Amino acid sequence: MAMIDHDFEAQRDETFGVWRDLSAKNNLPKNAILDLQFVPTSPAADWDLFEMQLTEAGYRCNRYSDGTTLEAFVGPIDLNADAIWKHELETTQLALKCGFRPDGWGFFSR
């Protein structure tokens, strides 16, 4: 499956902007489980391959029951923009190769 064009610089800028806004308005935890959501870009998206590659890279995965989204979890990690971006970049690169695109991220502490 061919990798679609993707603007990683814009994605990074958005992540850092969201982080700045969140941390300015909230008392965020120092550590959290990061979750990243991905949606298929076509019916030919390879769910099994993407999930296998994520698992091999150390992520836990969940497919939404409605078949619209694959979610990857990691952590708890140190919660900061650099750490989020590191995981977002790694998973997005895998996603694009398997016919998915990033659709957001979030976090939760235990």
The tens-digit pLDDT sequence of the chain (110 residues) is 445 688 999 999 999 999 999 999 998 899 999 999 999 999 999 999 999 999 999 999 999 999 899 999 999 999 999 999 999 999 999 999 999 999 999 998 65
Contact (CB, 8 A) for 109 and 31: yes
Instruction: Note every long-range contact of 18-21, with CB atoms under 8 Å and residues 24 or more positions apart, other chains counting.
Output: 19/80, 19/81, 19/84, 20/81
Which top CATH class is 32-108? Answer: alpha beta
The pTM assigned to this predicted structure is 0.90
Contact (CB, 8 A) for 106 and 84: no
Phi and psi torsions of 79, nearest 5°: -95, 105
> How many CB atoms neighbour CB 9 within 10 A?
8
